Structure 1
Amino acid sequence: MGDIKTSYDERLLGSIERISATLRHAERKVADVIMTDPEQVMSLSIKAFAARAEVSEPTVLRFVRKLGCSGYSDFKLRLARETAVAKMYIDAPSVAANTNVSDIVTRMSEAAKAALDQATNELDTQVLEAIATALNESRRVFCFGTGGTSAILAEEAENRFFRLGLSVQATSDGYRQQMTAAVSGPGDVLLVFSVTGRPTHLVSCAADASANGAKVIAITRPESPLAEQAHLVLTMDTVDQEAFYNLPNQARYAQLFALDCIAGHLAILRSESAENLSRIRLTLSRLHGHVERQPIGD
């Protein structure tokens, strides 16, 4: 029973819980140290860990290999990645028990304000101006994103830009993105949103489009694989200071702010913007009558 092993894809803490009934006495001591304080374990050398668990170093190595790790360093790396994501769920019961509606409203407001403040301080106005100019001079604009936040921002970019007279399309479908990059060329612009700058298919699309003569613009993390493939990069490096399951990704506020700034400057550059928005407003007014405080263009 002690030889049960876990797969690499299974979460470490879940693996330990699953095999806990099969563990020998020394292995259970190792497991107890990990489960009691996984974050503290990440700072321990194997010697310090063995001392805390009151077992030998070979016992620690055997245990982490049973979890599917190649060694102690690999174990700590995987544990660090897991706890960074899982902490919000591990802490969820205690967070929920001590949180009321007012706390949630305050937390959301503070997260949004912090993201906007950071984005404002980091925004490179020269790059923003260059991006707006490239969009204004483009033949076609393709907006790409993947996942929840970035895919939604790509759709929002299409929604903003078509009103200003740009020929623009948005897609979050990976195959469609690859095909679009393949047929792009001089005069085209790829506007790519990504919080991390790491999705491999977006990086591939950027490389293909660039090779075909299109201009690649990225709103993403600096020095990321996507940023390296882009001609223009508006860096967004918003980092969530809290990791709770009920706190939204602050990057969405930063990305939306960046898009607002781009669209605002683009509207100034395009002489037909006011006329387009006026025609849109008149068309909608004929449909449902005049509505007070209706957003421009809606």
Structure 2
Amino acid sequence: MADSNVSIIPMIEVNYQKLSPAERRVADFFISNRDDSADLSAHTISEKLFISEPTLSRFAKKCGFKGYREFAYRYKNQTLKPRQSVTCSVKKVLSVYDDLLDKEYNLIDEKQIDRIVDYIGKYERVMICGKGSSGFAAEEMEIRLMRVGVNVDSVVNSDRMRMQSVFMDKKCLVIGMSMSGTAKDVLYMLEMAHKNGAKTVLITSYRNERNESFCDEVVLVPATNRMDQGNSISPQFPFLVVSDIIYTKYMEQNQYMKETLHDSTLKALGMEDNDEIIYSKGL
């Protein structure tokens, strides 16, 4: 397991979809619990939630723990606690963003990010796909990588995803973005590309065993309730954070050359002296 002091709430959330209805009651309790002194013994929790103790054990194992005893110990000793609800709308939004960043600290796998950065430098062509808000994040990632010399393109149209999947091969890296992990066209492109020998990466908020069968890397990002529906927080935010981390890591390799390419694109756009630069795919 990871550092015993970090929050395990993100691990509950990323495994939520594969839980049974009874196990989800357990998940909901621990995600929303505000009582640090609560008795978390299996007997007490099973009676409180009207479930069996074996249900607690199955829940803990699906979240990546050896059993409920280990889960309860880790939960008691975590450093990141669920935030108290606030009434001010502005503070509420800022609090959610802060919470998402805290969760990202717990989910990020730096060695995995390093592998993806290596893929970007290794493969001849990079294709990034997404639908809706995920598509906007895909286009943003494309623009940033293109400006430092990566042969990259983004595709946000369903028909184009399916057509482009035919041309993906062992020389290609395909990155898919789907908050829910269920976007059919994105998954289709990743699966077909994988069959054709391409390297595949899925960035999502939910772990799914089927997706892992055709994705070489599954990058987990944090989410809040109904975030994929664009409730009060933009679904692009977690994708943009991961994109920034990947971009920063990529820039660290041969930094002088990449910064020179970046500056050259500014000059080509006539923006080198502007304090405010608006990036537009149409430019």
TM-score for both structures, normalised by structure 1: 0.58
| Residue aligned with 2:88, SS | helix
Relative distance call for 1:279 and 1:183 in structure 2 (3 A) is same
Unaligned 5+ segments in structure 1 are 1-42, 44-101
CA shift for structure 1 position 192: 0.5
Q: Which residue of 1 aligns with 2:107?
A: 122
Paired with 1:245 and 1:255, the residues of 2 have a C-alpha distance of 13
Paired with 1:136 and 1:120, the residues of 2 have a C-alpha distance of 25
Paired with 1:267 and 1:295, the residues of 2 have a C-alpha distance of 21
2:139 to 155, 164, 183: 155
Q: Which residue of 2 aligns with 1:67?
A: none
Superposition pairs of residues 102-251 of structure 1, within 5 angstroms: 103-147=88-132, 149-224=133-208, 225-240=210-225, 247-249=232-234, 251=235
Q: Which residue of 1 aligns with 2:3?
A: none
CA shift for structure 1 position 245: 8.2
Q: Which residue of 2 aligns with 1:259?
A: 243
Aligned identity (percent) is 19
Paired AA for residue 161 in structure 1: L
Paired AA for residue 139 in structure 2: E
| Residue aligned with 1:166, SS | coil
Q: Aligned residues, how many?
A: 194
Relative distance call for 1:277 and 1:243 in structure 2 (3 A) is closer
Does residue 281 (structure 1) correspond to residue 266 (structure 2)? The answer is yes
CA contact (8 A) 2:128 2:174 kept: yes
Paired AA for residue 247 in structure 1: S
CA shift for structure 1 position 204: 1.7
Paired with 1:182 and 1:162, the residues of 2 have a C-alpha distance of 23
Q: CA RMSD in A?
A: 2.9
CA contact (8 A) 1:185 1:209 kept: yes
TM-score for both structures, normalised by structure 2: 0.61
Paired AA for residue 167 in structure 1: N
Flag the structure with higher helix content.
Answer: 1
CA shift for structure 1 position 291: 2.7
Larger Rg: 1
CA contact (8 A) 1:107 1:247 kept: no
Paired with 1:115 and 1:256, the residues of 2 have a C-alpha distance of 12
Deviating beyond 6 angstroms after TM superposition, the runs of 4 or more aligned structure 1 residues are 241-245
Paired with 1:244 and 1:190, the residues of 2 have a C-alpha distance of 25
